[in-house]
Chains A and B, each alone.
Chain A
């Protein structure tokens, strides 16, 4: 069986690339197609593949400013010639799912999200506050085009696998397609538990939808120590929100992150995430998670949704079944209230139970589930039953 893997772009190791790595292990002889590859930016396992790129790298400044070429990505991805392959596995959070295949080829899509900039997150990415006059006029028509393309190209996929129920719901909403769910891998083995220090921790890329501003606002008001690990486009804006109790640690190595996780009091998280790997890593370190109660975390973490009635919430928490707290509104006050509540009831959480909850998210499990799902789809496709 000749296999092609399609991944949007290779410019760094994030959640999607961890999944891609597993795909590469499953199909080491596959050809890897990608819009753009910055050499050395991804792990050796991926770099060792036969990598084919599109015309995007030849565009001026593409290595750094590739995101500005988003409107050309549909065009670029449709130019990949995949005629030689029997199985095409796209690993897609943007345009990769839009490749062309023939009826005798099986196209499976592992979907991290339908293009998030054009759907749920459009108002977060392109709010009036972040855009200048011209981009405010120019971006909406481009988004309009991308949405049309996104919907039509979704019909080219033979079968979708979503990273969470949250994403399956988005696929159903925007594409009217069904999707199986396989949660992505979490490297639980990298993390260990240690006694709590005096700080809360946030590990996140600095992207608008992560709502780090809201965490910073809450901790400025709380005047409690917060450490922030991460980098990104939003750094300058975020500094304005930070109070004196916040420490920015920048980008850290995997070991350093694990070390910070091991000693934090709790992990805070204000984003509505598609899946949310970082909170699960914190759980692997036995740490409770204080998160906004929407999106992927509600599927993976048994959190107590705070009602605002502290007595009732405390009673509920005493039953010892919860591994975190969910706050109901995506604002600083709601988060601050959750942190105050946590300060009072931190001893209600058990590190062992928290760790036990996430043991099943490890990489081996992902590899097996994906391998089995692909096998099943390939067999069904042979019999003409693929959906």
Chain B
């Protein structure tokens, strides 16, 4: 059986690449297709694959500007010649799912999110606060094309896997396709419970839709200490708005992060994520999570209405709503058990993911062969 893996781009290790890493372990002999590869940014399990890139790799300053080439990516991904493979597994948060496979090839796509910049998060990425009028007009045209392509290319996938029920619903909404949910891997072994400290914690890329501004404003209002780990395009804007009780640590190593999680009072998660790995990492460290009650967090965090809660939800993406949730948390702080919280997080462990993915792919591939046999 010849296997190809497809991933949008290889420029750094984030959640999607953790998924890819497990795929590379499960199918080490596969060829790995990607639009763009910047060597040295990824784990050895990924880098030792046979990696093949597209024409995006050769565009001017691609390693830095690749996001600007988004309108060319559908064309680039369609040019991969996958005729010789029996099984194609794409790991897609953008265009990877749009590869073209032969009818005899089974194509399974693990969807981290349907191209979020052109669907739900379009305004957050390209709204009036983010882009000028001319830029928005141009982007609007491209986004229109990308939406058309995104839906058309979704029909090429034989079987969808979503990283959460939230994403499965979005796949149903935009593509009218069903998806199996397999939660992404979290390396829970890296984390362990410890003594709670006096600070609230945010671990996040500093991107607009993460709504770190809410955490900063709420902590300022309540006079609580806040630690923000992570970097990103919004760093300057956020630092300007922050008061003295906020500490920006920038990028942190895995070990440093594990320490920050272990000793935080609670983890703050004000964004709407498709899945959201960081709340699970916080829970693997035994710490409660205060999260916006939408998206993947609803699937990874147990609210106060549950038998053994692991966090508190706030209903509106406003400072007041978050402030109320922090207060509610502080009132019931002693009722959270670090051991029970960690136990809950183990359901999202890497090994669970590995087993579920392997079983699912084997089953779908076998069924595909039978269906084809029945067709003649």
Contacts and interface: CB of A to CB of B under 8 A. Distances in A.
Interface in B101-150: 101-104, 148-149
B83 A173 contact: no
Contact of B149 (A148, A175, A294): A148
Interface stretch (A46-54, A57-65, A137-145): A137-145
A151 interface: yes
Contact of A170 (B75, B81, B103): B103
A119 interface: yes
A25 interface: no
A298 B102 CA distance: 17
B152 A147 contact: yes
A170 B372 CA distance: 11
A143 B372 contact: no
Given A123-B81, A143-B78, A151 B376 contact: no
B372 A144 contact: no
Contact of A120 (B103, B148, B149): B103
Contact of B152 (A152, A166, A294): A152
B102 A120 contact: yes
A140 B75 contact: yes
B355 interface: no
B284 interface: no
A380 interface: no
A165 interface: yes
A157 to B, nearest CB: 14
B100 interface: yes
Contacts of B103: 120, 166, 169-170, 172-173
Interface in A125-172: 140-141, 143-144, 147-148, 151-152, 165-166, 168-170, 172
Given A123-B81, A123-B83, A165-B376, A175 B155 contact: yes
Nearest to A171: B103
A174 B75 CA distance: 16
B156 A144 contact: no
Contacts of A172: 103
Which secondary structure dominates chain A's binding surface?
Answer: helix
B245 interface: no
B79 interface: yes
Interface string B138-175: 00000000001100110110100000000000000000
Contact of B372 (A123, A169, A174): A169
Contact of B78 (A144, A166, A298): A144
Nearest to A167: B103
B375 interface: yes
A122 B372 CA distance: 23
A173 B101 contact: yes
Contacts of B102: 120, 173
Q: How large is the interface on A (under 10, 10 to 19, 20 to 34, 35 or more residues)?
A: 20 to 34
Contact of B156 (A140, A152, A166, A173): A173
A234 interface: no
Interface in A288-315: 294, 298-299
A151 B103 CA distance: 15
B75 A169 contact: no
Which secondary structure dominates chain B's binding surface?
Answer: loop
Contacts of A294: 104
Given A123-B83, A141-B75, A169 B152 contact: no
Nearest to B83: A123
A144 B75 contact: yes
A169 B104 CA distance: 8
A105 B148 CA distance: 26
A340 interface: no
Interface string A169-184: 1101111100000000
A169 B374 CA distance: 11
B246 to A, nearest CB: 46
A173 B158 contact: yes
A166 B372 CA distance: 10
B79 A174 contact: no
A149 to B, nearest CB: 8
Nearest to A119: B100
- Most chain B Cβ neighbours within 10 Å, of A140, A168, A173: A173
A176 B155 contact: yes
Nearest to B155: A176
A294 B102 CA distance: 12
B156 A165 contact: no
B74 interface: yes
A212 B83 CA distance: 19
Given A151-B155, A170-B103, A298 B149 contact: no
A43 B42 CA distance: 63
Contact of A152 (B100, B148, B177, B376): B148
Interface string B276-316: 00000000000000000000000000000000000000000
Contacts of B152: 147-148, 151-152
A175 B151 CA distance: 11
Interface in A76-122: 119-120, 122
A176 B75 CA distance: 21
A174 B78 CA distance: 13
A122 B152 CA distance: 17
B109 to A, nearest CB: 13
A175 B102 CA distance: 13
A179 to B, nearest CB: 10
Given A151-B153, A151-B155, 14 more contacts: A140-B79, A143-B75, A147-B152, A148-B152, A148-B153, A151-B152, A165-B376, A166-B103, A169-B103, A172-B103, A173-B103, A174-B155, A176-B155, A298-B376
Interface of B: 74-75, 78-79, 81, 83, 100-104, 148-149, 152-153, 155-156, 158, 177, 372, 375-376
29 contacts: A120-B83, A120-B102, A120-B103, A123-B81, A140-B79, A141-B75, A143-B75, A143-B78, A144-B74, A144-B75, A144-B149, A147-B100, A147-B152, A147-B153, A148-B152, A148-B153, A152-B152, A166-B103, A166-B376, A168-B375, A169-B103, A169-B375, A172-B103, A173-B102, A173-B156, A174-B155, A294-B104, A298-B376, A299-B376
- A-B residue pairs, 6 tightest by C-beta: A151-B152, A169-B103, A165-B376, A144-B75, A173-B103, A148-B152
